[in-house]
Amino acid sequence: MPSPTPPAFALKRYETRIVGMEETRMQQTMKLSMLWDAEKRVFHAVESLPGEAHEMNTLLPMADSVRVKIRKLFADRGFSSRDNVQGLADRGADPVIRPQESATPRKGLKYPAWREHIIQYKKLGYEKWRDETEYGKRFPEEHTIGALINRFGDEIRARSDRSASRLLRARVVLHNFFAVLFNGCSIDLTRT
C-alpha cells in the first residue's frame, strides 16, 4: 500500500496577513493526507489538514485506522521521521520512506528500524536504494491524485475548515465508489 500524499486544495476563503509593512489577502488551503492502495486503486484513509500544517503526524493514525494489512508503505520525505519509520516497523509494515539528506542513525536503541533504514539509505545512495526498495513504484501511482483533482477540481467552497474537510472526504468516497463500480475491485467493509 503506497503513498500518503498531501495534495493542496484552495478554499474560496481569504485571510488578511501582514507581509512586510503591507496588508495582504491570502487564499486559504487545505491538504489531504491519504493512504492509497495501488492494487485495488482505492483510498483507505484520509486526513484533512489546514494548508500550513505538517502531514508527518497523520501517518501512524491513518495506518492504525485501515482495515487491511499493510505490507509495504511508500511515502515521501514529508513523512520521514524516527517515530513513523519505527511505528510502521512495529506494526509489521515495511516502511519505504525517503529520508531527509541530513538524517542520521543516532538514537539506535530506541529506534532500531530507523537506524537500519538510514544506514541502508546512506550505504546504497538514492538511486540504488530506490531500485532495491521499489520506491520508484510510487511515482506512477501518483497520477491517481491528479485524477481525483481533475474529476472534482482543486477548489472548495466552504465557510469552515470542518465543512471543507467533509467536502474533501466526500470526493474521496466518490472516487472509491467509481473505482469499485468501473474497475471491478471489491472493498471489504467488515471490521477485522
Length of the chain: 192
Whether the per-residue pLDDT at 178 is higher than 80: the answer is: yes
Give residue 82's pLDDT. 92
Q: Give pLDDT, residue 185.
A: 60
Which residue's C-alpha cell is 496577513?
A: 17
Which three cell numbers mark 177? Answer: 465508489
Residue linked to cell 491513518: 62
* Contact predicate 31/53, CB 8 Å: yes
Domain residue ranges in the chain: 8-160
pLDDT surpassing 50 at residue 2: no
Cβ burial, residue 31 (10 Å; 0-12/13-18/19+): buried
The four Cα atoms 174, 67, 30, 140 give a dihedral, to 10 degrees, of -80
Which residues of the chain form beta strands (DSSP E)? 8-19, 22-37, 42-50, 72-75, 94-97, 155-156
Residue 140: pLDDT band with limits 50, 70, 90: low
Which amino acid is located at 155 in the chain? E
Alpha-carbon distances of 160 from 16, 54, 152, rounded to whole Å:
16, 19, 19
pLDDT at site 85: 94
Q: Is the pLDDT of residue 156 over 90?
A: no
56, pLDDT greater than 70:
yes
Q: What is the CA radius of gyration of the chain?
A: 18
Residues in CB range of 61: below 8 A, 6 or more apart: 47
- Spatial distance between the Cα atoms of 39 and 55, rounded to a whole number of angstroms: 24
**pLDDT at position 17 over 80:** no
Q: Which of 3-7, 30-34, 166-170 has the highest mean pLDDT?
A: 166-170
Q: At a CB cut-off of 8 Å and minimum separation 6, what does 24 contact?
A: 16, 17, 18
| pLDDT at 192 exceeding the cut of 70 | no
pTM for the structure as a whole: 0.77
